[in-house]
Amino acid sequence: MKPGLALVMVTLVWAVTATAGAPALIPQPVQMQLRPGVFTLGSAPPLAGVAVASQVRIYADAGARETGQYLAALLGRSTGLRFAVLPAADAGPVRNGILLTSSNAVASLGAEGYELTVAPDAVVIRAPAGAGVFYGVQSLLQLLPPEVFAAQPAGGVAWTVPCVYIQDQPRFPWRGWMLDVSRHFFDKQEVKQTLDALALHKLNVFHWHLVDDNGWRIEILKYPLLTLTGGWRSSGMGWNLNPRSSSAWNGAGLYGGFYTQADIREVVAYAAQRHITIVPEIEMPGHSGAAMSAYPQFGPSGASIYSPALAIPFLEDVLTEVMGLFPGRFIHIGGDEVNGSPWTTSAPDIALMQSLGINPTNGTSAYQHWFSGQIANFLQANGRTMIGWSEIEYGGVLPNSGVTDWLNNESVAAAQAGQPVVRCPTGNCYLDYYENPAAAWSSEPPAIGGNVPLSTVYNFEPMPSGLTGSVTNNILGAQGCQWCEYVPSLLNVQFKSFPRLLALAELTWTPAALKDFTSFTNRLAADELRLAQMGVNYNHYAVPTAGMWAPSNTPAAYAPLSWDITTNVAAAGEIDASFSYTAGTNSLLIAWAALLENGAEIDRDTHAGTAGTSTSKASYVLRLPARKAGAAYTLRVSVQGSGGTNSAGTVYLPNWD
């Protein structure tokens, strides 16, 4: 399907949904009444006395002024109208304007709840606190045509909002997404773009996995080698990925990158404007290879793990700088998958374990527990709370800490012990897994394995059975986890995260009794158009194809095969080609792939690839500087069968690299 045709079809779906039935909001509000009529932006005359003529007036309380400015900027960009943000005290009876206020708000809606009233002559968003006003604005934006998220004025759009009354508040306070930037680095602009998509769906926690074996991504002024050495890899991307699928290379051919402290402050402020709290993760004591490459003196010789006997002062220095950048309550310290065997041969650690009464030969779990307790106490003394993965509880409940339970075995005990708990079991919340069953993996980019379908995410229940009373308050919510071993680009991150992350947004916001998967998937058609207007990639499920290869055209020695892809080339930019074996006794070997315009080669990606099993694909990235009207575009590849020509498969043209 051509992108333009898809846009028209989804627009029609949105229009039918918004006018004939309930508006297509995600997450589903707690209470929504559809009323007669519409509110039209720009229906008021220009506002006299305002220096810049404005067609729409936004009145905001002092506490909502920043949200008012955010709304004015977003609406002005896509509608071409001009907006004035004025004090709410000047509103009087609001006519042909938008009011953002906490006056006379329903206190029981809490810090994130809101009321949204759309009448033919006014829009009123009323909430007890600023976060609620912001979420009311997100619902208002979803009521507008999807083109409201366009990057430039969209012509021919009726800027109308259906009249509704919504009263809404979240089920859980932690509605999160984790992004791993250690395996592959994503720059601050890429992070900010995705934060916009989180905010639209009322997700409010961004768990930033900044440190792991493969890269240290946050500048620490006292220890500059953490980023200068630990932020770059000479070994390349790893995981057998196409080097062209990422732009995170420097002039010396090193792979990686890092955020300066100024970058971090910029992203934190950007997130805060969208009422998103960032939880930084500084992995310890394991998964610390990047730090050890820079400062090996803080770990056992040759190991990718910190020595508790040597590293605690260093880690306290690091965490002090981290706390100065991130104002939120929680600091994540990882703590997962720790192999403590290097401690058993490290003299300083043996001595410390013996002084603590821990047997050095079989007490590494107890030693990690002691270490985590020291870090938890340090953070608590500085007004913060440590949070870590399930394994920090191995050895017993860890006081002064919270748990992100990925192993799905610590939630109940931790909550009963009074610890804050975030649910993220692999089988429901790990977005690095394939979305489809194994039989359909050929239409997805490489993943770590397994599958987590959209319905499995949607049907996850964050509240463990058996918990009752006030203990349930210790279950903060849930988060989707986007690990990135096989996810080298923002397009790929978004492909894997959306729409599954939207299912998580609904299950953490909407009361369980109101959830309905059929309704959700119906509303998803409209929401995907919003994502498209925002420039956010997502799993389209129907991936375009260039063609197929078969035994009849598989050469025994390297020779070119070609496919006409003109109808698939809609604009300049990146063109991905992915080769997926489906049948036969022989693999397909690929030497290079090239893009031709009117028969002339304009780009080539040269690297050896093999399409040999249903889960093995060779991916190539081609770039089109400018699309020439009326030109013919061809994908040409040099291939041969491996040991024979009995090979068959499909050539996909996805948008995930």
**Are 542 and 625 in contact, with CB atoms under 8 Å apart?**
no
* CB-based burial label for 7 (10 Å; 0-12, 13-18, 19+): middle
SS3 state at 49: coil
**Are 76 and 68 in contact, with CB atoms under 8 Å apart?**
no
233: its two tokens = 């890899």
**Is residue 528 annotated as a catalytic residue, yes or no?**
no
SS3 state at 614: coil
**Is residue 287 annotated as a catalytic residue, yes or no?**
yes
Of 138, 141, 134, 203, residue with least CA distance to 172: 203
Q: Phi/psi at 473 (nearest 5 deg)?
A: -65, -15
389-394 CB contacts, 8 Å cutoff, 24+ apart: 389/334, 389/335, 389/336, 390/336, 391/335, 391/336, 391/337, 391/338, 392/333, 392/335, 392/368, 394/365, 394/368, 394/369
Tell me which of 337, 461, 564, 601 is the catalytic residue: 337
Pairing of strands 114-119, 83-87: unpaired
**Are 105 and 67 in contact, with CB atoms under 8 Å apart?**
no
Q: What angle do CA 107, 478, 68 make, to 5 degrees?
A: 45
**29 cis-preceded (ω within 30 degrees of 0):** no
**Are 634 and 531 in contact, with CB atoms under 8 Å apart?**
no
**Is residue 337 annotated as a catalytic residue, yes or no?**
yes
Percentages (nearest 5) of helix, strand, coil residues in the chain? 35, 25, 40
Tell me which of 184, 201, 275, 287 is the catalytic residue: 287
CA–CA distance, 366 with 387 (Å, rounded to integer): 18
Structure-token match 């998958």, residue found: 337
SS3 state at 480: strand
Tell me which of 61, 168, 190, 212 is the catalytic residue: 212
Structure-token match 């509000």, residue found: 29
Q: What angle do CA 599, 602, 604 make, to 5 degrees?
A: 110
SS3 state at 409: coil
Angle between helices 130-143 and 188-200 (to 10 degrees): 80
376: its two tokens = 């938890």
- By residue count, the chain amounts to 657
Cβ neighbours of 490 (radius 10 Å): 21
CA–CA distance, 499 with 108 (Å, rounded to integer): 31
**27 cis-preceded (ω within 30 degrees of 0):** yes
The residues carrying an active-site annotation are 212, 287, 337
